[in-house]
Amino acid sequence: MDGKFHQNIHLHGKETESEAVFYKANEKNKFLAFIHTENFCGGFCRDLFFDHLRCQHNKGMLSGVNPKDLGLSHWKSDTLYKGVFDNYKKQIKKTFDKYNRFRKFFNV
């Protein structure tokens, strides 16, 4: 078994079952936080990282937890990930426009 499974979970209504790949969180009593391959680090922890980004983007924010702080060495912080960011452009633009009104207070 490759450690992957598909589950019908809708994240803000953006993904369908056939598009989303999620990782198993455990195998019997063993917690599977990470799945390492040569140039990739995935697993349950990776899923949490992207769920966190989706929640932040849904609130209109670009910030998120640094994946390296979670032990995800392959993933970069301060990156807009295609397939995540794309789904929340409207919310992010709304926040950007809101804060842009206050730009004059920051001498920018």
Q: Is 26 exposed, middle or buried (0-12, 13-18, 19+ CB in 10 A)?
A: exposed
Span 37-80, pLDDT tens digits: 666 677 788 888 999 999 999 999 998 899 888 888 888 888 89
- Domain chopping of the chain, boundaries: 4-106
Q: pLDDT category, 20, cuts 50, 70, 90?
A: low
Task: Give 70 or 33, the one with higher predicted confidence.
Answer: 70
